[in-house]
Structure 1
Amino acid sequence: MADIVKAGRTVQEVVESTPVLKNMNLSVKYDANIRLKREDLQMVRSYKIRGAYNKIAGLSKEQLQKGIVCASAGNHAQGVAYSCKKLGCSGVIYMPETTPRQKIKQVKMFGGEYVEVILTGDTFDDASNKALADAEEHGKTFIHPFDDPKIIEGQGTIGLEILQDCPDPIDYIIVPIGGGGLASGLGAWIKEFSPQTKIIGVEPEGAPSMKTAFEKKENVSLECIDRFVDGAAVQKVGDLTWRICEKVLDDVVVIPEGLICSTILRLYNEDAIVAEPAGALSIAALELISDQIKGKNVVCILSGSNNDITRMEEIKERSLLYEGLKHYFIVRFPQRSGALKEFVNDVLDQGDDITHFEYYKKHSREKGPAVIGIEVRQPEDLMRLQERMTERNFVFEYLNDKTDLFQFIV
């Protein structure tokens, strides 16, 4: 614990002691006292600066002169870049070639002349392998994004601040999990000084690496993950973080990506908060544990806000699908004039909206297939929509639950 206190003094040079603010909308919705630890308000818009700076600031003069290297597709890269500039240390940051330009630009801005960004490969693993090879060949220090004691201690300073700033005993702390650095550091501090507080870790459904490790009682690597929640999508959590989380976490829950998207949109529309997918994880989890937290004091870690605006259409799409408000069909239209007009007038109800339409006319067939996306007002409207298509002899196939076909549309 002394190391986290020391880390707290170290990171004061670069981090804000972010507020723990009560959120009225969430508190009313879940009948609980919900506070948000606003790590999205850091200079680099995420908590990652804490661990990165604590690690790099602790390097020897010789290590700093040789330089550092890391791999990241997002927030860790920004924290490392800012730390390099602050400490006058040269750094090479490997990022996948698929990294959005906005994130690359931010890394270069924070690092300035002290940082070189190298784009390589299609995935984080590709970039990480290159970074490790560079570190070994040139004697540089590799700055791991999570599985390092100094990184963990830096992230643990969030727990220190929460206990300092919350006037009432805390019943639950909800924390997002990627590689486990935040959960293990925060969890170690909280369990030492507030052992009655339950700590719930949260992962995206498409990358449940910590949950899988808990169930199998060993740290395993997932064969395939959904990288949509890029800040929390790892195939394997850290060996060190896993051992700590096994002791300090009371539970790990997994959240559907669609629910995360709905949470992002609600935070923006209701509270003017911009959250990235990983940043919204802890708040999305409230929906699944609502019965447990009624009347309780709850703190959610809003871990970051580096959300690329170009992703908003996909976020809205995933939200509508999860909420049961958007549906895709293959409809086989009779190849005669007026068929589409009949569909619009007699099948669609007031409030139904065609959001996607692709028609393939083939003169040699009686019916031409069209892929149609329809947005409805209420989830229960789907059944009535299908009934009207059947009544009016429109042959259709529902696509939302056909994964192999659906992936080509969404």
Structure 2
Amino acid sequence: MTETQQHLSAQDYLRKILVAPVYDVAKNTDLNHLSSLSQRLQHDIWLKREDQQPVKSFKLRGAYNKIANLSDDAKDRGVITASAGNHAQGVALSANKMRVKATIVMPETTPDIKVDAVRSFGGDWVDIILIGRSFDVASKHAQALAKEHGYTYVPPFDDEDVIAGQGTIAKELFDSKRDLDMVFVAVGGGGLAAGIAVYLKQLKPNIKIIAVESDESACLKKALESGQRETLDQVGIFADGVAVKIIGEETFRLCQQYVDEVITVNSDEICAAIKDTFDDTRAIAEPAGALSVAGIKKWLSQNKPDKKLQIGGILCGANINFHTLRYVSERAELGEKKEAIIAATIPEQKGAFRHFCETLAGRTISEFNYRYAPTENAHVYVGLKLRQSDTELPAVLAELKKRNIEGFDLSDNEAAKMHVRHMVGGRVQNLTNERLFSFVFPEYPGALMSFLNTLGTQWNITLFHYRNHSAASGMVLAGFDVPENELDELHQHLDEIGYQYKEETANPAYHFFLKS
């Protein structure tokens, strides 16, 4: 059998995309110019807003197109899929719209918010089955039910109708802005990239299609390097919308033919892209949804094109878990290379912390974690704001070394960023005179240094925790070694320096985890 007979031709895909009935339920979404990011990168960046779809992601297009193209008999028998994410919601809404019975199989571990969303979109037309603790178990169960009952399985990406449905995004892109030089597309299973690439390359062969993958689930990159589809041993779950172990068969064929390049980004770079997207649009992308922006930034920094480009990306989803925002906020500056994390060893003596800060020559400290240890040296965990990402950190480390302060870069140390930053502390034996205070002071560049200078060095600091959250006020938790007969003097000093403060020595959290 010839390749043409085995697979749809590019012209066939073009036709399927042009006649896809997705607008029965999907929107022709906005194409926004990212003015702040464009000015910073010196290229025009445009973002296709698939977060504006009713299910907050592009998945609705492919799901609806697949079900709409079924025969009446297949629709009467019903459809089934396995998904814990955006595809499930797309199938649910599509089934509801077309009055087709759908069964959606999800792992038992699926968060209630996603289960409730599927139930809400599907209404009486959707049955939800929760089974197993992994997607693989749910998928196998769905496939078994499809065979048993004659349901049509609606794949999340590796299907011609699904690919064509996602390709309608490319039609809208081309209609809105025909002078795009490049389009960056997130890749999980490859349905979105395949649909967009096959359409745009027929109409504008010289346009560059760049696939963007999380470096924790780069199945397309691996397949292109080896020339065949290969299963990843494991995938990361931060960008769960693209956490796919193996690229689809048909999607790989199309990406191999029409995608020009693949670039991978890490979690910190994704977090920075979420922040960039929010700054320009006030939309909060899910990690997979921000991949294209992260890829645009990384590609431009690596290639440095000599002419101004018109670049498009797709915000492909905004179904983010609210609590993930805490992680995103912590990591965005690191991803932008505007913050570094260093460990430093300083003498365990009065004034050493202030001397260390003076060595930083006015640079803004974004975080400082320290706990007294009864040794000659103290180890501190420091976040440092950077103005020049490429050269500033090496200069800081060199200056510390010059002053006999050992410094170590932890900016790429996942354990340090994820866990250790929250664990610096603990009990210290024989520290019987420790007193704990919380402080609030106006936040501005150099505020922490000013706070330390005002505090003075009369009493040894035994604990210090500070994190700059870009708020109007800075907050510090600090411990002091204060003999009983000097307590009144300490309180008088704190009253005189004028900062809002509160003694926390009786706080039960201190007694449980920190007090000697």
Output the amino acid matched with 2:266. P
1:277 to 268, 281, 287: 287
**1:30 has 2:41 as partner:** yes
TM-score by length of 1: 0.85
Would you say the 8 A contact 1:31–1:295 is kept in 2? yes
Tell me, in whole angstroms, the C-alpha distance in 2 between the residues paired with 1:108 and 1:257: 31
Give 1:250 deviation, angstroms. 1.1
Would you say the 8 A contact 2:80–2:152 is kept in 1? yes
Match of 2:267 in 1: 257
What do you get for the CA RMSD once the two structures are aligned?
A: 3.1
SS at match of 2:145: helix
Tell me, in whole angstroms, the C-alpha distance in 2 between the residues paired with 1:74 and 1:195: 34
Match of 1:119 in 2: 130
Residues 140, 36 of structure 1: alpha-carbon distance in 2 compared, 3 angstrom cutoff: same
**1:222 has 2:222 as partner:** no
Match of 2:218 in 1: 208
Q: Tell me, which stretches of 5 or more residues in structure 1 are unaligned? A: none
Give 1:162 deviation, angstroms. 1.9
Output the amino acid matched with 2:356. V
Give 1:261 deviation, angstroms. 0.8
Would you say the 8 A contact 1:30–1:293 is kept in 2? no
Taking the TM superposition and a 5 Å limit, the aligned residue runs for 1:272-351 are 272-290=282-300, 291-292=304-305, 294-322=307-335, 323=337, 325-327=339-341, 329=343, 342=351, 344-348=353-357
Match of 2:67 in 1: 56
Tell me, in whole angstroms, the C-alpha distance in 1 between the residues paired with 2:80 and 2:370: 48
Tell me, in whole angstroms, the C-alpha distance in 1 between the residues paired with 2:146 and 2:385: 54
Would you say the 8 A contact 1:37–1:162 is kept in 2? yes
Match of 1:43 in 2: 54
Taking the TM superposition and a 5 Å limit, the aligned residue runs for 1:61-76 are 61-76=72-87
TM-score by length of 2: 0.69
Give 1:96 deviation, angstroms. 3.2
Tell me, in whole angstroms, the C-alpha distance in 1 between the residues paired with 2:344 and 2:144: 49
SS at match of 1:73: coil
Tell me, in whole angstroms, the C-alpha distance in 2 between the residues paired with 1:270 and 1:21: 9
Would you say the 8 A contact 1:331–1:372 is kept in 2? no
Give 1:47 deviation, angstroms. 1.0
Tell me, in whole angstroms, the C-alpha distance in 2 between the residues paired with 1:158 and 1:244: 16
Q: Percent identity?
A: 34
Output the amino acid matched with 1:120. I
Query: More deviation in 134-143 or 52-61?
Result: 134-143
Output the amino acid matched with 2:120. M
2:203 to 193, 207, 218: 193
Q: Tell me, which stretches of 5 or more residues in structure 2 are unaligned? A: 1-10, 422-516
Question: Could you say which structure has the larger radius of gyration?
Answer: 2
Greater relative contact order (CA < 8 Å, ≥ 6 in sequence): 1
Would you say the 8 A contact 1:173–1:199 is kept in 2? yes
Query: More deviation in 377-386 or 9-18?
Result: 377-386
Aligned residues: 400
**Post-superposition CA distance 1:247-290 (Å, at most 9, x none):** 11111111222111101112212331221111111112222332
Tell me, in whole angstroms, the C-alpha distance in 2 between the residues paired with 1:293 and 1:308: 39
Would you say the 8 A contact 2:13–2:199 is kept in 1? no
Match of 2:383 in 1: 374
Give 1:51 deviation, angstroms. 0.4
Tell me, in whole angstroms, the C-alpha distance in 2 between the residues paired with 1:234 and 1:267: 24
Would you say the 8 A contact 1:55–1:151 is kept in 2? yes
